[in-house]
Amino acid sequence: MERVDKGYRLEIAGRKGLESDMLKFQVYEHDGGEPLALRNAHMVGADAIGVRGTIKIEGDMIVCQKRTSGPVALSLQHEVEDVGAVTLQTCLLPDRSEPYVLSLELARHRLMLLLSKQEDWMMFDMSHDHPAMKRAKVAKQLFVRALAKLPDDREEASRLGLECLRSAVDASEELALAHADILYKRRLSAGQFHRGVFGCGVGVRQQSETVRASLLANFDYLSLPMPWRQIEPQEQKHDWSSLDSWGEWAYRNRMPILAGPLIGFEDGMSPDWLGVLEHDYETLRDVLYEHIERVVTRYRNVVTLWNVVSGLHTNSAFDLMLDQLMDLTRMAVLLIKKVQPNAKTLVEVTQPFGEYYSQNPKSIPPLIYADMVLQAGIPVDAFGVRLMMGQSGGGQHTRDLMQVSAMLDRFNGLGKPVHVTGVAVPSDVAKSKGDGTGSGCGYWRKPWTAVVQSHWLEAFYHIALSKPYIDSVAWLDLADHEDSLMAHGGLAMSDLKAKGAFHRITALRKSLHAESAASRNPDAAS
């Protein structure tokens, strides 16, 4: 992590007093449906850390004007046939007067990512007949053909680059799934899975006995949100009824609880009245202290793991300084340890791809924040990753499976267990939260439906549970509800009719527990 931190410091220093540098990308009509919409467009530098600047359209060109020197990459949502509308990026590119061909540069980066992960995962001995290798071979051939068309026929080079990109993304997803299959079987044979792998969230105000019975029968633990906005809608006026009901039910049924986040400024988690303290940090800190102490004291006998703070690194609600962000993190973790000495704690990272950093100079890139927590000696027991894709909102644009797998791998170097604290994609885009249509946030393979949601869920869980450092995965919501952070993101409809995703996840859990039991006791299985 020291190398990442050094790059972060250099980027901060380098943006001062430098004249703007520029990159241009040429786009053609065949290229990606609506490539000039510039959805989720941002620049990134070394170690996938955002670079600030402006991105605009000039005719058939995308023009990137950066505020730092050195090569950067362009990342943007791009529609590719049979792949979907996903956020892709180019390699780090130097400035030059001649424009780059967008699809060709996106393909170049994906081929480099494919080769890089083959090396990282030690998978160069795969059979040439494996789908990943066959598609990678086609992609490489198309890339060579595209390069041969330059500089005379740039449009044909772009068309071939787009074909290469499609094959390369297919190959990389196949590689990610093949790698997951190897690690998953290895974890099973080593008996590394415990009973608390599958979690699920609920709406606090969902008090249905059907929901509770389904949780008890089909999941290992309850991910219980602690929405401050609902607990204390008016200052010093608390409503504990819904949380008390869930806590009593979980205690009675011996259902472990992952509770929180206790502090989260994103997605309207905090009450409106807290906003008046934006420019009074000391008072804000005192109010947060009192809130955490009050909640932990009340529920310390029923909570197994506390999600202490969520998304502080994005610094999206209050204009806080870096030392203040770290002070809040330290204060919250230490306070919980004081009130509940045996408590387990985690710090939740949201928007794990870090796009926000290219827009907010007072934010902290995700992994650098996690590393700073550890270097500061804050006694956190684990890190959480919240991953929501497919709806408008910060960090929720769709990524492909290779990018998701590679992102999770970055957390391996922290030396702490990782919990996926809330994962979700929608089953419908007709009324997605944010833009009313959901069309601007991308999709995987096909526009989001209940069928696509269930296929994505199965692929994601296979990848996530193959990672030795990931302890558990919690789906965001059991059923759709009005307070959810993602519209249509539940495993069941609001009327509690199960979607395909519910059947997939329960089958995965049943299979995992059966295989784990067999690996621990092979004689009994036979």
Non-local (6+) Cβ contacts of 294 within 8 A are none
Answer whether the bond into residue 468 is a cis peptide, omega within 30°.
no
What are the structural domains of the chain?
2-183 (no CATH), 195-525 (3.20.20.80)
Residue 442's pLDDT is 93
Pairing status of strand 305-310 against strand 257-259: parallel
CA distance 486 to 397: 13
| Gap between the terminal Cα atoms of the chain | 46
CA distance 426 to 390: 6
Q: Which helix (H) or strand (E) holds 425?
A: none
Residue 522's pLDDT is 62
Give the type of residue at 232.
E
Give the type of residue at 207.
Q
pLDDT per position in the chain (526 positions), as tens? 333 444 444 343 344 434 447 899 999 876 655 546 789 999 999 888 999 999 999 988 999 999 888 899 999 999 999 999 999 999 999 999 899 999 999 999 999 999 999 999 999 889 999 999 999 999 999 999 999 999 999 999 999 999 999 999 999 999 999 999 999 999 998 888 888 999 999 999 999 999 999 999 999 999 999 999 999 999 999 999 999 999 999 999 999 999 999 998 876 778 889 888 888 999 999 999 999 999 999 999 999 999 999 999 999 888 899 999 999 999 999 999 999 999 999 999 999 999 999 999 899 999 999 999 999 999 999 999 999 999 888 899 999 999 999 999 999 999 999 999 999 999 998 544 444 334 589 999 999 999 999 999 999 999 999 999 999 999 999 999 998 999 999 999 999 999 999 999 999 999 999 888 877 666 544 4
Query: Of 185, 181, 179, nearest to 123 (Cα)?
Result: 179
Residue 194's pLDDT is 85
342: its two tokens = 């045996």
What DSSP state is assigned to residue 84?
E
Residue 192's pLDDT is 86
Non-local (6+) Cβ contacts of 254 within 8 A are none
pLDDT digits (tens, 9 = 90+) for 161-218: 999 999 999 999 999 999 999 999 999 988 888 889 999 999 999 999 999 999 999 9
Task: Please give the order of strands across the beta sheet that includes 100-101.
Answer: 53-58, 61-66, 21-26, 100-101
133 SS3 class: helix
Residue 439's pLDDT is 54
